Amino acid sequence: MLTIFTDISVSDNDRFVAYIEKIKELGYQVIYHVAEKDFQCNYGYFSDGKHIGEVTINDLTHGIALSTVHKPCRECGSGFQLEDDFVLRENNQDEFKKLLKECFEVIPKDFGDFENVIPYYDFNDFKKQHWGMHDMKEL
């Protein structure tokens, strides 16, 4: 594994890019946003073609967070955060893969029932609704 995940001298942006590159290496499709200021990446999405997960830089902890993704609704937003700053997990490849797949559960088991949560049909449906809204790029 890359030492960039645990090296605290590495910038959040470089750490984020390393995460999305690792997710891409595992066979997922990846799109991400590049902020105009200093070309910093701060969020992206990954998919197996059908299911979608989100990876973001958490500005409060300067860590990486993973979330589920669903169509936005007033009651529940657009996803549920599963993990925040999981720096130690990527040293265990199986645990990392398991955590990424947990993002594909639209409503995680521990979160209960939310009748207003509607998943996207697939990654293409998601991209059609979001591609022009932000400066998204495909990895």
50 touches 122 (CB < 8 A): yes
Strand-pairing partners, residue 84, are 65
Q: In what order do the strands lie in the sheet with 81-84?
A: 81-84, 63-68, 52-58, 41-47, 29-34, 136-138
- Whole-angstrom distance, CA of residue 101 vs CA of residue 48: 9
pLDDT in tens, 27-68: 999 988 766 665 555 788 999 999 999 988 766 555 678 889
Does residue 137 carry a pLDDT above 70? yes
pTM here is 0.80
